[in-house]
């Protein structure tokens, strides 16, 4: 992730938000933790197809440092660690809903135009699972 300089008075609010959400997987991690869900590392790794254990750990550490998620360690053998969103992390739900709505609307519009260009990403073809498995996810139905 690109490290941004310290906050300045003239800093754009979008740049400020990207300080917290700029990682490649952070939005999807938040999506898996919305509505009070508690997940373990292995559950998140299984859900986020394509992410390495190292990358997931790095993203989770950054998010914990930024106050977006809470990490709970249980004194067991083997160690048990769970992650959940903090109240600050929960404030990202409207952002996720807006991104979901934009993505669904744009995908539908592009499909109607017969445009299969994905903006630089390789097209996987119709019906193929997306990188993260969220092709048919609906926020309104609480299926995160």
Q: What letters, b where the CB count within 10 A reaches 16 and e where it falls short, cover 46-69?
A: ebbeebeeeebeebbebbeebebb
Residue partners of 127: CB distance under 8 A and separation at least 6: none
Kindly state the tokens that stand for 44.
């998140």
Q: How far apart are CA 49 and CA 141, in angstroms?
A: 22
What mean pLDDT, rounded, does the chain reach? 80
pTM for the complete prediction? Answer: 0.71
| pLDDT score of 66 more than 90 | yes
Fold that domain 13-112 belongs to in CATH: Arc Repressor Mutant, subunit A (1.10.10)
Mean pLDDT of 111-137: 55
Give tens-digit pLDDT for 16-53. 888 888 878 999 999 999 877 899 999 999 999 999 99
């Amino acid at each position: 992730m690109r490290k941004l300089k310290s906050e300045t008075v003239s800093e754009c609010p979008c740049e400020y938000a990207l300080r917290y959400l700029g990682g490649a997987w952070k939005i999807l991690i938040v999506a898996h933790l919305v509505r009070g869900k508690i997940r373990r590392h292995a559950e998140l790794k299984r859900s986020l197809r394509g992410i390495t254990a190292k990358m997931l750990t790095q993203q989770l550490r950054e998010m914990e440092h930024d106050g977006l998620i809470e990490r709970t360690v249980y004194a067991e053998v083997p160690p048990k660690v769970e992650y959940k969103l903090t109240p600050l992390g929960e404030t990202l739900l409207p952002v996720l809903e807006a991104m979901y709505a934009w993505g669904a609307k744009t995908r539908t519009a592009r499909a109607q135009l017969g445009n299969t260009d994905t903006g630089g990403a390789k097209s996987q073809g119709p019906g193929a699972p997306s990188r993260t498995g969220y092709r048919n996810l609906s926020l309104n139905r609480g299926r995160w």
